[in-house]
Amino acid sequence: MPLLPVLVVAVVVFVDVATQAGVPWLPLLAAGPALAAATNGPRGVICAGLLAALMGTALSIGHAVPAREPTAVVSALLAVTAASCLASAMRGRRERVLAAVRSVAEAAQQALLQPVPETVGPFQAAVRYSAAAAEARIGGDLYALVPTPHGVRLIVGDVRGKGLPAVGTAALVLGVFREAAYDEPDLLAVVGRIERSLARNLGPDDFVTAVVAGHTEAGHLEIVNCGHAPPLLISASGEVRPVEPAQHTPPLGLRALSGQSPGLQRLPLAAGDQLLLYTDGVIEARDRAREFYPLADGVARHASDEPARTLTALHDELLAHVGGRLHDDAALLLLRKRTEEERVAVPSGPKTAAQIATTAPRA
């Protein structure tokens, strides 16, 4: 028996008995089965409807009203119960369809946005992703981090537009990136292969902003920024500064229109330094006063030696800034270069957090 509809019926009965108003209060008993349709299945609706009908009949007999009036009330209650059963069944069907869509979306996200290893090469890594389409859980933002024979390489990007077309473009970019990252020793060649693939497959108004980065064996960080927001470099001392591109380059897919080629930046990356890559959904998130989220200030407040903890704090603060719901896809990927002591203490194999939890000894 559903609790809340029963409570509603009980309140109506109590008011009717207390006021001795008779029939005028009895139609309110229909609120019981109507409410049950929003919270329970057809069986719960029927129980609430039968209870309301029984209470209506008992109250009518107690008030000694003419038989015609309680018959009309009970008939109305049964009609509301039948309609509520249908509404409950339809709601249950929609919930099952939504659950199936969510399951497919989660499978698609796991295939498209593969888990980022907790440790890879000389780095600790963490990622947080939130899609604006909350029910779909996937969107047009993309990220990937892969160990290759040429060092650790990663990409963070933002596809113009939303919905399934954006997801398809993101899948295309990530597929080309993962192949090229293994094949091409030059990071600019990786970007070139993505550009050529997009030029063949995108429409004239479509493009992808992205930052492609790689860590060489010499210990330098290489960055190619294609119209994307500049990454943030966090030094071991806590200083935060943006890595502005040496030359402005158009987004991926638009090189043929501009005739500009991307430039390669090389940065020294010391032990303890961190690099944060993100998408526009983070820095363009507004609060009620229409103020943008101050990402650099948030990083300065929450930076720690654990990337996962840092991103959790940033993500929670970002949601609080916008009031709990993002209006654009948002991705954050943080790398931290480990010290020699940390690399000796923790092997550099690409284990995810889930894998570490699975292989940990149980008490």
pLDDT at 214: 94
Please state which of the ranges 42-46, 222-226, 230-234, 277-281 shows the lowest mean pLDDT: 42-46
- The CB density around residue 3, as the number of other CB atoms within 10 Å, is 10
**Three-class DSSP category at 210:** strand
Which region holds residue 44: left if phi is over 0, alpha if psi is between -120 and 50, else beta?
alpha
User: Does the pLDDT value for residue 220 go beyond 90?
Assistant: no
Q: Please, are residues 170 and 112 in contact by the beta-carbon 8 Å criterion?
A: yes
- Rounded to whole angstroms, the Cα distance separating 106 from 104 reads 5
Measured CA distances, 362 to 75, 122, 275, 278, 346 (Å): 61, 28, 34, 36, 19
Please state which of the ranges 45-49, 63-67, 85-89, 121-125 shows the lowest mean pLDDT: 63-67
Q: Please, are residues 330 and 130 in contact by the beta-carbon 8 Å criterion?
A: yes
**Nearest 5°: CA angle at 245, between 240 and 249?**
145
Beta bridge partners of 223: 213, 265
Taking alpha carbons only, the member of 285, 289, 271 closest to residue 336 is 271
pLDDT at 165: 75
Residue 89 parent element (H or E): helix 68-112
**pLDDT tens per residue, range 7-39:** 888 888 888 777 776 667 777 888 888 888 888
Residue 43 parent element (H or E): helix 42-63
Q: What's the longest Cα–Cα distance across the chain?
A: 96
Residue 247 CB-density burial (10 A; 0-12 exposed, 13-18 middle, 19+ buried): exposed
Ranges of beta strands (E only) in the chain are 119-120, 123-130, 141-148, 151-159, 208-215, 220-226, 232-234, 240-242, 265-268, 274-278, 330-337
Q: Please, are residues 299 and 240 in contact by the beta-carbon 8 Å criterion?
A: yes
Q: Please, are residues 224 and 187 in contact by the beta-carbon 8 Å criterion?
A: yes
Beta bridge partners of 275: 233, 335
Of residues 263 and 155, the one with the higher pLDDT is 155
* Residues 6+ away with beta carbon under 8 Å from 316: none
Work out the average pLDDT over 40-58: 85
pLDDT at 314: 95
Please report, as a single letter, which amino acid is at residue 83. Answer: A
